[in-house]
Structure 1
Amino acid sequence: MNVTRIAVLGVALVAGAGAFFMMMNGDKKAPAPAVQAVQEKSVRVLVADKDFQRGERLTADAIKWVDWPEKALAEAYITEATGGDPAELEKAVARTTIVKGEPIIEAKIVRAGSSGLMAAVLGPGMRAVTMRITPETGVSGFVLPGDRVDIYYSETNNNNVTKTDLLLEDVRVLAINTVYSENPEAPVIEGANATVELSPSDAEYFITTRASRGEMSFALRSVFTPEEGQTQARRDGSVKVIRYGRS
């Protein structure tokens, strides 16, 4: 093979390689410029940080501010821009169920001190009635809102014989005086009045009995249900029992 042929083959090889390289890179498009995402406007909205049941009290540590899309903002939402203050909702009560992450709106809460507060705490179909208590009849002030009690009625006849009847069992205490907070760490409340939750028929019986000359007393119930066989037998006697819900 002479020098001329070698030179021709070399040139052809280089030309072919160049053509192949240009063909492979010629179809590549220039990279498209990066599109910068448009940041969506948001508003600070007050939401529940836990589930609240009807009648449950709101606390400052159970509500929080979150960023909420401005386009999804409803007029009823409480926002920082409108002057919302979580401290103002302390001790407010849920009028209905509020789920975690749901915005707080006025239609679903009753603020402390408002006229509808006790009605929001009451269970459906129940009634609130009040009785006077003393340290002796109110378990020395250890009965707190949210506790459950038995209510006894004592009356002394003309022969100076006192008879005690069990009127109602497992009754929910709604408030002592005007305190309705279910806070077991609160100081002892030495109240003069106690408000309890009763069915309409029990409320009627309660009011009739309250008007008599005897005295009503609380017996505080344990928060724990006794195991089978642990309940102590009651002494024999004439005791009238009307169970919660009336029987």
Structure 2
Amino acid sequence: MRAVFGLVLIVGIALAGGAVMMAKKYIGEYQTALAKERAGQKEIVPTVEVFVANEPLRYGQRLTLENIRKVSWPENAIPEGSFLESAALFPEGKPPHRVVLRAMEKDEAVMAVKVTEPGQDAGITSRLQKGMRAFAIKVDVDTGVSGFLRPGDRVDVYWTGSIGQELEGARREVTRMIQPGIELIAIDQSAGRDIDGTIIARTVTVAARPEQVATLAQAQNTGRLSLALVGAEDDTVASVIEVDQRKLLGLADIEAPIEKQAERVCTIRTRRGAEVVEIPIPCTN
């Protein structure tokens, strides 16, 4: 009887130990799953629906509800100028389309700077900010940076011409930077930034203030204009630059020859009969 009791006791202890181990394992798995769930909740980022391109869009293409769609976008990373509501993109009472100003790839956010106002065409006027004017500059392969210019680039404008007079009637030819950092808004008749290949332009159109337009017009009529491309991330402001032939060759300014002062001659007049004679004498003063 005692042997049976001992056996039952041993079996009970074994079952109790197994139950404890199973409970401990279950609790551990539960705690692990709970920790993963909590970690996943921490990684959830608030999102907002934003309009994006449903297909690649190029300059001049019409933008309608058919070629855009809404996607979830991280709330703290929404590009500035993005459209969140269709009423903002296509306001009621206005034409239900815009025109693409800058090329967009599929799934790229539609931003105000990349499209025109509702119903507006993608002409030069849509690229001009308030107070700015469009002015065309004649260029060629030499003065137009060998065809590497694109709308949206910035250039420094240099004028080469003759000014004033030097010795012996020769005119002084100089090269001077007259306008730094002017923005290009069109190359020939193209205002799109997605130009393929190299274009040897005959004219470039710049956005300038009225006083800058007057300066450029005067410079274009009195000399030759050349353009220098400014780097995309260059925010420096160039100072006034002027170079003439003497500065180019490192020559000193030509000085006017100093005239040799003539020697003073002092004389007295005396009469010898009917003749008046001048006799040299030392100058006392």
TM-score of the pair, normalised by structure 1:
0.51
Structure 1 portions without partners, runs of 5+: 1-46, 51-56, 79-83, 94-98, 239-247
Residue in 1 that maps onto 2:180: 169
Alignment partner of 2:52 out of 36, 45, 49: 49
Specify the structure having the higher radius of gyration (Cα): 2
Q: Could you report, residue by residue, the CA deviation over 1:66-108 in whole angstroms, capped at 9, with x for unpaired residues?
A: 5999xxx945453xxxxx8x9xx45599xxxxx9599xx9962
Q: Distance in 1 between matches of 2:239 and 2:131?
A: 33
Correspondence list, 1:136-215, <5 A: 136-156=142-162, 159=170, 162-183=173-194, 186-212=196-222, 214-215=223-224
Alignment partner of 1:217 out of 226, 246, 271: 226
Residue in 2 that maps onto 1:132: 138
| Contact 1:126 1:200 survives alignment (8 Å) | yes
Correspondence list, 1:8-19, <5 A: none
In structure 2, relative to structure 1, the CA distance for the partners of 1:145 and 1:171 (3 Å cut) is same
Aligned residue for 2:130, secondary structure, equals: coil
In structure 2, relative to structure 1, the CA distance for the partners of 1:159 and 1:232 (3 Å cut) is same
Alignment partner of 2:121 out of 88, 111, 116: 111
Q: Higher relative contact order by CA 8 Å / sep ≥ 6: 1 or 2?
A: 1
Aligned partner letter, 2:198: V
Q: Number of residues paired by the alignment?
A: 160
Q: Distance in 2 between matches of 1:172 and 1:162?
A: 27
Structure 2 portions without partners, runs of 5+: 1-49, 54-58, 71-84, 104-108, 164-168, 245-285
Correspondence list, 1:224-235, <5 A: 224-225=233-234
TM-score of the pair, normalised by structure 2:
0.45
Q: Which has the higher helix share?
A: 2
* Aligned sequence identity (%): 19
Q: Could you report, residue by residue, the CA deviation over 1:166-224 in whole angstroms, capped at 9, with x for unpaired residues?
A: 010000001111111112x6211211111101111111111122121x10000000112
| Contact 2:134 2:205 survives alignment (8 Å) | yes
In structure 2, relative to structure 1, the CA distance for the partners of 1:107 and 1:160 (3 Å cut) is closer
Q: Distance in 2 between matches of 1:163 and 1:237?
A: 6
Aligned partner letter, 1:125: G
